[in-house]
Copies of this chain bind each other. A is one copy, B any other.
Amino acid sequence: MSSGGKLEVILRVLGFLLSFLAAIVIGVGKETKVVPITISSQLPPFHIVVVAKWHYLSAFVYHFATNVITSSYGLLSLMLTLSSKNRHNNMLTLLIIVLDTVTVALLSSGTGAAMAIGVMGYQGNSHVRWNKVCDTFGRFCKQVAASAVLSLAGAIVFMLLIILAVVGLQKRPK
C-alpha cells in the first residue's frame, strides 16, 4: 500500500472514531437534578426533579443522527478502501469524494445546530426570554460541548480525506 493509501486508512479510522465517539457522548447525555422551588417565603421550598436528555431537543437529535450516519459511512468507506483492488477506479474514487463532501456538510451542520443550542443553554437570551439552563445541567452541557468538538474534528478529518484524494488524482499517472 502506498503512503497515500496508508494515510487514507488512518484518516478513515480517525474519522469513524471521532464521529462514533461524538454520537456516543451525546447519546449517553442525561442529567437528573433536584431543584428547590420557592412559592412563598412563609413556606419551605418545594423540591422537584428535572431531567435533561439529548432527545428532548431536536438540534441534539439531528446532531446525534448526523454522527450515526457519518460514522457508519466512515466504517463502510474504510472497508471499501481496504478491499478495493483497483485503486484507479474513477467511478469509485468520485463516489467516495462525493460522499466525503456530503459527510463534511452533515457533520458541520450537526455541529452548528448543537453548538447554537449549547451556547443558548450557556448564555440564555434576554431578547427572546430564554433562560440559561447550563447552571442547572452543567454536566449535560459539557457533554454536548465535547460531542460538538469531536464532531467538528471528524468534519476536519473528512476534509483532509477530500484534499488527499485530490492530491492523489493530481499525481496519478494516466
Contacts and interface: CB of A to CB of B under 8 A. Distances in A.
Nearest to A129: B131
Contacts of A166: 93-94, 97, 165-166, 169
A139 to B, nearest CB: 15
Interface of A: 51-53, 56-59, 62, 90, 93-94, 97-98, 101-102, 104-106, 108-117, 119-121, 123, 125, 127-131, 133, 155, 159, 162-163, 165-167, 169-170, 173-174
Each complex incorporates copies of this chain amounting to 2
A15 B128 CA distance: 32
Contacts of A159: 101-102, 105
A146 B109 CA distance: 17
B111 A170 contact: no
A114 to B, nearest CB: 8
Chain A residues touching B, majority SS: helix
Contacts of A106: 108
Given A104-B104, A105-B155, A127 B97 contact: no
A68 to B, nearest CB: 16
Contacts of A98: 163
Contact of A117 (B109, B116, B173): B116
Q: Which of A90, A130, A133 has the most CB of B within 10 A?
A: A130
A163 B112 contact: no
